[in-house]
Amino acid sequence: MGRTRIFDERDAARAALDVFWDRGFEATAVPDLEGATGLSRSSIYHSFGSKRGLFDAAVDTYLSEVVRPRLAPLQADTVASDALVEYMRGLRHVMADGTRHLATHGCLLLNTATSPVGIDDTLREIVRNYRRELTHAITRGVEAAHPEFRAERTARLGTTCSAHVIAAMTLARVDTEGAIALLDNAIQLIVDPNEISETGRTTA
């Protein structure tokens, strides 16, 4: 009894994500969102309530379509022993390729939450969890890649690796060269955690 829905809110959120990712929350104006989603201002406010509501929807999209899939292999029940290296090499490839949003704009969550106007605490909380999950997932990857390591060393390498990822994501938008260097270094650290002994080459 009434007109059926024409547009899909998920599509709208996806479109909005591009703009928010590009310009950030504050710098994105509602007219920008109208253009990107193809929706009228009225429809946006009807469906999402506010600019912030649409942003939240975009963040959900980002989490479920960008973050989770990439991290999934490290969170599987059984982690393949080279999953971590693949993950890091994947990131490095995306970064060096430079065509993807992740390379040109970094991580939406880090960008937004660490920007001086962090919007609010729920977003900060998301970033905290994000960091913990990232570190934990990577540590599991290290564990799979180096089962011979003691727990302590595994944990340390895991933290180190996640630090590199965070730093690389932070620098992506400003200093691509630096971001790639960081990822390279991280990969090296995983592949050969101690390939260089004090005296000379390799023990592996």
Partner DNA sequence: TATATATTGGAACGATCAGTCCACAAACCC
Partner DNA sequence: GGGTTTGTGGACTGATCGTTCCAATATATA
Own/partner long-range contacts of 101-104 (Cβ < 8 Å, ≥24 apart): 101/18, 101/21, 101/22, 102/66, 102/169, 102/172, 103/172, 103/176, 104/172, 104/173
Does 139 contact its own copies by CB under 8 A?
A: no
Does 85 contact its own copies by CB under 8 A?
A: no
- Residue list 156-195, contact with its own copies (CB under 8 A): 156, 159-160, 163-164, 166-168, 170-171, 173-175, 177-178, 181-182, 185-186, 188-189, 194
Among 96, 104, 153, 191, the residue binding its own copies under the rule CB under 8 A is 153
Residue entry with tokens 């270094």: 185
Residue 201 bridge partners (DSSP): 196
Task: Using DSSP, state whether 78 is helix, strand or coil.
Answer: coil
Paired tokens of 11: 């599509």
Inter-axis angle of helices 151-171 and 176-191, to 10 degrees? 160
Binding mask 27-46 for its own copies (x = CB under 8 A): x-------------------
Paired tokens of 188: 């090296």
Written as one letter, the residue type at 148 is E
Residue 68 binds which one of DNA, its own copies, none, with CB within 5 to 8 A depending on kind? none
Does 41 contact DNA by CB under 7 A?
A: yes
- Give 1 or 151: the residue with its C-beta nearer to its own copies: 151
Give the DSSP letter of residue 39: -
Task: Using CB under 7 A, list all residues that contact DNA.
Answer: 1-7, 28-31, 38-43, 45-47, 50-52
Task: Using CB under 8 A, list all residues that contact its own copies.
Answer: 22-27, 105-106, 110-118, 124, 127-128, 131-132, 148-150, 152-153, 156, 159-160, 163-164, 166-168, 170-171, 173-175, 177-178, 181-182, 185-186, 188-189, 194, 196, 198, 200
